[in-house]
Amino acid sequence: MIDPLRRARTAALYLPALAVLAAVAIPLAFVILRAADADPADARAWLWRPRTAELLLNTLALGLTVVAASIAIAFPLAWLVTRSDLRWPRAVTLCAILPLAIPGYVMAYALRSLGGPLGAGQALLGVTLPRIDGFIGAALALTLYNFPYFFLTFRAAFDRLDPAQAEAARALGAGPGRILLAVHLPRFVPAALAGALVVGLYVLGDFGVVSLMRFDTLSLALYTSWSRMEQGALLALILIGLTLLLLAAEALVALRRGPVAAAGLGEARRPRPIPLGRLEAPVWLALAALISLCVVVPVGTTLHWMLAGAAHFDLGDLTAAAADSLSAALPATALTVALAVPVAWLARRRTWPARIVERAAQLGYAIPSLALALGFVVFALRTVPSIRDTLALLWIAYAAHFMMLAMGPLRGTLPLLSTRHEEAARSLGCGPLGVLRRVTLPALRGAIVAGAALTLLAILKELPLAKLLAPLGSRSLAVSAWAFADEALFADAAPYALTLLAISSCSAALVLRAGREAA
């Protein structure tokens, strides 16, 4: 009634939302369809093999180990930089976040190329280090990549601890033990659970690390059984089921926790730092060991192999790979952002279609990439086989997978923009198109650019979808680095790994900046 544009605008919001929903639902549906093709008796027999149980146990053991080890590193580290009198806390914080800039498969490549008689350790230190691979190698690489997530959430939780709460508890007669258990610890449980979910989903979907470390998980088994799609589909179903379980657990926790609200007014006071005293030297020793393991080793090893292979380095190969990466990433980013803007706009109203689309975007991000890739391949083969050999399939898969990333900054900005702003602009003489041009789009510009940058960088370093969905002959930077490392051609992998380290650093810097602005 107010203006006919409103109706057209509503349609313009729902079409992209439907596209996103389809991009996530279709691969899932085709995984199920493909699995349903299997003879039920064969499928049951195949699934009930000890091998399936072994894969499941391997995956769970890896996930739990990585979560436990990450917490064991991150919690004391967060305490040190927030509560103790440790010197240079900002520099230590920066070092603890740096591993975010090292893709898991580059970390795995560095660790694997370290040991053995031909390894970097022999060349650099003159000692033959033991080979790092298998369960230990995978757990180490994944922990070093993932503990910063826990570190960031724990640090935030420590920062939010208001000493007034502890004082209130003491005034009510609680001793130090009860304060720790009843006042402080509950503040860390949500942070730990949220971190465990992120890291758990990451381990479930990881392909790069486990393949280079030769540790059999569900994802790796799905990759090795790629040519037998029926069995692949069954494994993909298990992966999807585990993902849904983790997401449901998260929803349950969020529901019990209720909305996160600042309970109380006024500024939290900084408590008096706790002196480290005689522990200071051992603490610095441990910090030095950690930082050299998670930053110096990967960067140093990659540089070593780069120099070792400098003689037959071919810039042409690197530029060709970069071109392949960009031709996948640029259109995919444009598509993702073009869909993300209207979808985020729709999602800010808490209506049920908005919730469904938001959940779909979340699911697209959480589902292990290999399962998603399998769904898209089955979909292509059964509907339009010719699309299998084009980049279009990869673009769509990226849009489904990275929608969440592109929407992230928009979700922070959109609540600042209410219908009141549109009304204010119109009472100042601005027509509906003028509102779009002068208010809505300019107000969102920063968020759109940030979302696009996050998406672009994430796609550039993405491995499994690029490996499985790119047309024949296309070899992106990530695929090249992985393929050479997989064949132990460590010097050949180095230029690609270094380029990815640079891309990944930009990406991490962006994430951190966005996080600071949100805080």
What are 274's strand-pairing partners? 84
Among 2, 127, 265, 311, binds another protein (CB under 8 A): 2
b (16+ CB within 10 A) / e for 206-242: bbbbbbbbebbbbbbbbbeebeebbbbbbbbbbbbeb
Assess contact for 478 and 105: CB atoms under 8 A. yes
* 259 vs 429, beta carbon nearer another protein: 429
* 390 vs 418, beta carbon nearer another protein: 418
Query: Which one of the spans 78-86, 163-171, 332-340, 430-438 is the region binding another protein (CB under 8 A)?
Result: 430-438
* 295 vs 417, beta carbon nearer another protein: 417
For the CA atoms of 126, 132, 136, 137, the dihedral, rounded to the nearest 10 degrees, stands at 120
* 308 vs 416, beta carbon nearer another protein: 416
Question: What are the structure tokens assigned to 93, written together?
Answer: 């914080």
- Least distance from C-beta 261 to another protein, angstroms? 19
Q: How far apart are the C-alpha atoms of 462 and 484, rounded to whole Å? A: 16
Query: Which one of the spans 8-16, 241-249, 418-426, 473-481 is the region binding another protein (CB under 8 A)?
Result: 418-426
Q: How far apart are the C-alpha atoms of 96 and 76, rounded to whole Å? A: 12
Site membership for another protein, residue 414 (CB under 8 A): no
* 331 vs 412, beta carbon nearer another protein: 412
Assess contact for 425 and 439: CB atoms under 8 A. yes
Q: How far apart are the C-alpha atoms of 71 and 143, rounded to whole Å? A: 9
Among 430, 436, 509, 512, binds another protein (CB under 8 A): 430
- Least distance from C-beta 345 to another protein, angstroms? 15
What DSSP character marks residue 259? S
Q: How far apart are the C-alpha atoms of 471 and 467, rounded to whole Å? A: 9
Site membership for another protein, residue 3 (CB under 8 A): yes
- Least distance from C-beta 349 to another protein, angstroms? 16
Residue 190, amino acid: P
- Least distance from C-beta 266 to another protein, angstroms? 16
Among 18, 442, 487, 502, binds another protein (CB under 8 A): 442
Binding positions for another protein, 182-241, rule CB under 8 A: none
Among 57, 124, 244, 416, binds another protein (CB under 8 A): 416
* 89 vs 412, beta carbon nearer another protein: 412
Q: How far apart are the C-alpha atoms of 320 and 315, rounded to whole Å? A: 9
Query: Which one of the spans 38-46, 359-367, 428-436, 453-461 is the region binding another protein (CB under 8 A)?
Result: 428-436
Site membership for another protein, residue 443 (CB under 8 A): yes
Q: C-alpha distances in angstroms, 513 versus 55, 235, 319, 450?
A: 38, 38, 29, 10
Among 279, 289, 296, 424, binds another protein (CB under 8 A): 424
Query: Which one of the spans 31-39, 329-337, 380-388, 439-447 is the region binding another protein (CB under 8 A)?
Result: 439-447
Assess contact for 107 and 145: CB atoms under 8 A. yes
Site membership for another protein, residue 1 (CB under 8 A): yes
Assess contact for 111 and 132: CB atoms under 8 A. yes
Query: Which one of the spans 20-28, 81-89, 181-189, 412-420 is the region binding another protein (CB under 8 A)?
Result: 412-420
Query: Which one of the spans 186-194, 232-240, 247-255, 433-441 is the region binding another protein (CB under 8 A)?
Result: 433-441
Residue 2, amino acid: I
What DSSP character marks residue 389? G
Site membership for another protein, residue 418 (CB under 8 A): yes
Q: C-alpha distances in angstroms, 76 versus 79, 82, 286, 287, 357?
A: 5, 10, 11, 11, 39
Site membership for another protein, residue 427 (CB under 8 A): yes
Query: Which one of the spans 158-166, 315-323, 351-359, 441-449 is the region binding another protein (CB under 8 A)?
Result: 441-449
User: Read out DSSP for 203-254?
Assistant: HHH--HHHHHHT---HHHHHHHTTTSHHHHHHHHHHHHHHHHHHHHHHHHHH
Q: How many CB atoms lie within 10 A of CB 248?
A: 10
- Least distance from C-beta 170 to another protein, angstroms? 34
Of 198, 213, 51, 72, nearest in space to 138 by CA: 213
* 163 vs 442, beta carbon nearer another protein: 442
Binding positions for another protein, 64-123, rule CB under 8 A: none
Site membership for another protein, residue 265 (CB under 8 A): no
Question: What are the structure tokens assigned to 235, written together?
Answer: 């494994």
Query: Which one of the spans 1-9, 222-230, 295-303, 458-466 is the region binding another protein (CB under 8 A)?
Result: 1-9
Site membership for another protein, residue 446 (CB under 8 A): yes
- Least distance from C-beta 354 to another protein, angstroms? 21
- For 91, residues 6+ apart whose C-beta sits below 8 A from its C-beta are none
Assess contact for 413 and 444: CB atoms under 8 A. yes
Among 175, 316, 385, 429, binds another protein (CB under 8 A): 429
- Least distance from C-beta 5 to another protein, angstroms? 10
Among 127, 172, 428, 472, binds another protein (CB under 8 A): 428
Among 89, 331, 353, 432, binds another protein (CB under 8 A): 432
Number of amino acids touching another protein (CB under 8 A): 26
What is residue 341's three-state secondary structure? helix
In the complex, the residues that contact another protein under the rule CB under 8 A are 1-3, 413, 416-418, 420-421, 423-432, 434, 438-439, 442-443, 445-446
